[in-house]
């Protein structure tokens, strides 16, 4: 009964479009008037819904809110928010004197039948399905996926044919198939199931599982089982990719942090306990610059990050020089004291930042680093994390070049191998020390600037990663860059792979404990890390 009606309507619409012109396709007045008759209301609403004419919005909204009135049993009026009555063409009801008229008699509210409430809502949503705002279209398409109402499928079909944004089109098609899962005809159901099996849509998984419990037809049942299996195996694969990516992301952060630590440790035997606070300074550099740009160059606010990257490197590197020249050089050859002094510095810096900046702030990533790359449906690699991975690779290459291909690196390695002999050859080992320490802290500053993209900026920002990066240094040894790379990969990966394996809310905690145990066990095999510095055999102890 519905289809001929629709055909008729379409014809009518086409005719009227030819007659009146596309701009002014008036809604069928007779249909609207049917809304006032309780018995015809439902049929009228169904047709109006399928029309999805944007000009109907006012009437439908008014009907939903109880603001639709019938005057003198012939004219429909809407009581707007301002308290005036307007007709369907938005013209106010005027008396003979041209004043707004608010009649007390002859006005009758059009009642919305209880059973039609959902239908009005649907009709309004149908209007939004062709709205100009893509977010609205998308949200309606998503919402309709949870309906039990098969009659909206033609609407979706129409909307999907007109849709230009591929993402929304896919959502609409998916919703259509979700609704078809409820179709009484087994073939249609089977087709829809096959569709989900092919697209491996995660969103349909629970729907399919529910369906399997209720399904009578054995063929459809089998189809559901295959589809569910396909989706589940896809999800497993996707999770594996996600874990690996998270592991890589953590590893890249650890790599930037521990490169600096490892070089300083290799050369001077000093573990910089304030490394986490150097990271914090880098983060705050980004934060301060962001505020500065927002205040002064709000038109180019996004470029702050491009300035922040090199600036954090310079600022924190300068702090490193100050630290080395001002304090650490007095403790030359006493690594444990140096460790303690750097810890004291870290404490002062941390509390200083807390006093000056307050407890927690954050940095807005520049627009070009927001969002992500959807590598497969439902799995997004955030650009910020990809950027950090890229940055860590750049750092690695630069450090490699600096250490093994440049003149400075040659000196540095000479001092590392034999300080006294290098000094005899005319290398200023003190200058090398200062430079190396500054390089180490500068890398921490860079890491801090990069980390401000994915986390908050607070005085304890270094705490999250510092213990892990110490573990990286211990694990990797100080003999080769490769040790640090492998160790950061090892620690980062096993952290992120242990977490899901342990499961539960405390997974991150137990993963950290697990890593520590693994590191200690690993040291049983190689007490000086993967690649120890070459020393005389007798001096078998680690610094």
Partner 1 sequence: MKYSPAWKKALIPGSILAALLLIGLPILNALGVLSDYYLNLFGKYLALAILALGMDLIWGYTGILSLGQAIFFGCGAYAMGMHLMLESSGQGVYGERIPDFMVWNRVTTLPLFWKPFQYFPLAVLLALAIPAVAACIFGILTFRRRVSGTYFAILTQAMAFATWLMCNRNEMNLGGTNGLTDFKSLFGVSLHTPFALRTLYLVTALCLVGSFIACKWLVGSKMGLVLTALRDQEQRLRFLGYPIAQYKIFIFALAAALAGLSGILYAPQVGIITPSQIGVLPSLEVVVWVATGGRGTLIGALLGAVGINAARSLLTAYYPEWWPIILGGLFVGVVILFPDGLVGIPNQLRQRLRRTRAQLFERSVPGSVPSPTGRGV
In angstroms, what CA-CA distances link 99 with 84, 86, 96, 103, 345? 11, 13, 7, 12, 79
**3-state SS of 359-394?**
CCEECCCCHHHCCEEEEECCEEEEHHHHHHHHHHHH
Among 5, 150, 375, 513, binds partner 1 (CB under 8 A): 513
**Span near partner 1 by CB under 8 A; candidates 23-31, 141-149, 243-251, 470-478:** 470-478
Q: Do the Cβ atoms of 121 and 57 come closer than 8 Å? A: no
Question: Site residues for partner 1, window 311-330 (CB under 8 A)?
Answer: 327, 330
Interaction between residue 379 and partner 1 (CB under 8 A): no
CA distance 153 to 175: 9
Interaction between residue 348 and partner 1 (CB under 8 A): yes
**Span near partner 1 by CB under 8 A; candidates 10-18, 69-77, 419-427, 464-472:** 464-472
**x/- track of binding to partner 1 for residues 422-461 (CB under 8 A):** ----------------------------------------
Among 202, 232, 302, 337, binds partner 1 (CB under 8 A): 337
Contacts of 214 (CB under 8 A, 6+ apart): none
Interaction between residue 269 and partner 1 (CB under 8 A): yes
Interaction between residue 539 and partner 1 (CB under 8 A): yes
**Span near partner 1 by CB under 8 A; candidates 16-24, 220-228, 331-339, 446-454:** 331-339
Interaction between residue 421 and partner 1 (CB under 8 A): no
Interaction between residue 340 and partner 1 (CB under 8 A): yes
**Span near partner 1 by CB under 8 A; candidates 66-74, 364-372, 375-383, 468-476:** 468-476
**Span near partner 1 by CB under 8 A; candidates 109-117, 311-319, 425-433, 510-518:** 510-518
Q: Is 300 exposed, middle or buried (0-12, 13-18, 19+ CB in 10 A)?
A: exposed
**Span near partner 1 by CB under 8 A; candidates 54-62, 347-355, 382-390, 415-423:** 347-355
Question: Reduced to 3 states, what is the DSSP secondary structure of residue 510?
Answer: helix
Contacts of 175 (CB under 8 A, 6+ apart): 141, 142, 144, 145, 156
Interaction between residue 400 and partner 1 (CB under 8 A): no
Interaction between residue 350 and partner 1 (CB under 8 A): yes
Backbone dihedral angles phi then psi of residue 336, each to the nearest 5 degrees: -70, -40
Question: Reduced to 3 states, what is the DSSP secondary structure of residue 70?
Answer: strand
Name the minimum Å distance from CB 518 to partner 1: 11
Interaction between residue 271 and partner 1 (CB under 8 A): yes
CA distance 416 to 534: 10
Interaction between residue 540 and partner 1 (CB under 8 A): yes
Among 27, 335, 372, 377, binds partner 1 (CB under 8 A): 335
Interaction between residue 117 and partner 1 (CB under 8 A): no
Q: Which one, 110 or 254, has the nearer CB to partner 1?
A: 254
What is the per-residue burial (b if ≥16 Cβ within 10 Å, else e) of 203-233?
bbbebbeebbeebeeeebeebbeebbeebee
**Span near partner 1 by CB under 8 A; candidates 24-32, 190-198, 212-220, 341-349:** 341-349
In angstroms, what CA-CA distances link 349 with 56, 88, 406, 461? 64, 68, 34, 12
Interaction between residue 345 and partner 1 (CB under 8 A): yes
**Span near partner 1 by CB under 8 A; candidates 170-178, 279-287, 363-371, 520-528:** 520-528
Interaction between residue 334 and partner 1 (CB under 8 A): yes
Q: Do the Cβ atoms of 271 and 343 come closer than 8 Å? A: no
- How many CB atoms sit inside 10 A of residue 76's CB? 19
CA distance 292 to 315: 16
Name the minimum Å distance from CB 523 to partner 1: 6
Among 279, 341, 451, 457, binds partner 1 (CB under 8 A): 341
Question: Reduced to 3 states, what is the DSSP secondary structure of residue 281?
Answer: helix
CA distance 522 to 434: 32
Among 64, 207, 212, 354, binds partner 1 (CB under 8 A): 354
- How many CB atoms sit inside 10 A of residue 191's CB? 15
Contacts of 474 (CB under 8 A, 6+ apart): 519, 523, 529
Q: Which one, 126 or 519, has the nearer CB to partner 1?
A: 519
Cα angle 212, 177, 188 (rounded to 5 degrees) comes to: 70
Q: Which one, 303 or 464, has the nearer CB to partner 1?
A: 464
Name the minimum Å distance from CB 268 to partner 1: 11
Interaction between residue 498 and partner 1 (CB under 8 A): no
Interaction between residue 360 and partner 1 (CB under 8 A): no
Interaction between residue 82 and partner 1 (CB under 8 A): no
* Residues at the site binding partner 1, with contacts judged by CB under 8 A: 265, 269-271, 327, 330-331, 333-337, 339-341, 343-348, 350-352, 354-355, 467, 470-471, 473-474, 506, 509-510, 512-513, 516, 519-521, 523-524, 527, 538-543
């Amino acid at each position: 009964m519905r289809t001929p009606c629709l055909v008729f309507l379409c014809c009518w619409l086409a005719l009227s479009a030819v007659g009146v012109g596309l701009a002014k396709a008036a809604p069928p007045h007779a249909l609207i008037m049917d809304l006032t008759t309780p018995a015809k209301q439902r049929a009228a609403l169904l047709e109006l819904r399928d029309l999805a004419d944007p000009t109907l919005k006012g009437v439908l909204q008014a009907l939903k809110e109880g603001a639709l009135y019938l005057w003198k049993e012939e004219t429909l009026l809407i009581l707007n928010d301002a308290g005036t009555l307007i007709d369907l063409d938005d013209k106010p009801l005027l008396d003979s004197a041209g004043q707004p008229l608010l009649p007390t008699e002859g006005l009758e509210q059009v009642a919305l039948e209880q059973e039609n409430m959902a239908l009005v809502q649907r009709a309004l949503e149908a209007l939004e399905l062709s709205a100009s705002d893509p977010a609205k279209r998308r949200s309606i398409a998503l919402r309709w996926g949870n309906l039990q109402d098969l009659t909206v499928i033609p609407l979706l079909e129409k909307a999907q044919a007109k849709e230009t944004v591929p993402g929304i089109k896919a959502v609409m098609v998916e919703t259509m198939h979700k609704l078809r899962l409820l179709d009484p005809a087994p073939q249609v159901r089977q087709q829809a199931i096959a569709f989900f099996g092919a697209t491996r849509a995660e969103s349909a998984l629970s729907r399919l599982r529910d369906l399997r419990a209720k399904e009578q037809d054995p063929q459809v049942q089998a189809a559901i089982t295959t589809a569910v299996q396909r989706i589940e195996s896809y999800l497993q694969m996707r999770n594996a990719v996600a874990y690996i990516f998270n592991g890589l992301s953590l590893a890249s952060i650890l790599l930037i942090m521990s490169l600096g630590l490892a070089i300083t440790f290799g050369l001077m035997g000093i573990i910089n306990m304030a490394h986490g606070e150097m990271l914090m300074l880098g983060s705050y550099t980004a934060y301060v610059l962001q505020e500065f740009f927002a205040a002064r160059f709000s038109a180019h606010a996004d470029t702050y990050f491009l300035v922040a990257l090199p600036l954090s490197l310079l600022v924190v590197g300068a702090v490193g020089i100050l630290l080395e020249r001002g304090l650490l050089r007095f403790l030359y050859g006493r690594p444990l004291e140096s460790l303690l002094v750097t810890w004291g510095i870290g404490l002062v810096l941390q509390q200083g930042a807390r006093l000056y900046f307050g407890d927690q702030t954050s940095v807005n990533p520049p627009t070009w680093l927001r969002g992500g790359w959807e590598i497969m449906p439902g799995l997004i690699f955030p650009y910020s994390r990809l950027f950090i991975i890229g940055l860590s690779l750049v750092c690695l290459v630069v450090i490699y070049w600096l250490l093994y291909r440049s003149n400075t690196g040659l000196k540095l390695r000479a001092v590392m191998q034999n300080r006294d002999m290098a000094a005899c050859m005319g290398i200023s080992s003190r200058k090398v020390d200062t430079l190396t320490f500054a390089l180490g802290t500068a890398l921490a500053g860079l890491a801090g600037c990069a980390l401000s993209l994915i986390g908050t900026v607070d005085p304890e920002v270094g705490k999250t990663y510092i213990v892990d990066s110490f573990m990286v240094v211990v694990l990797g040894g100080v003999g080769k860059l490769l040790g640090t790379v492998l160790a950061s990969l090892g620690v980062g990966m096993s952290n992120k792979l242990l977490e899901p394996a342990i499961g539960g809310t405390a997974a991150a905690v137990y993963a950290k404990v697990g890593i520590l145990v693994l590191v200690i066990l690993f040291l049983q095999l190689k007490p000086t890390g993967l690649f120890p510095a070459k020393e005389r055999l007798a001096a078998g102890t680690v610094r």
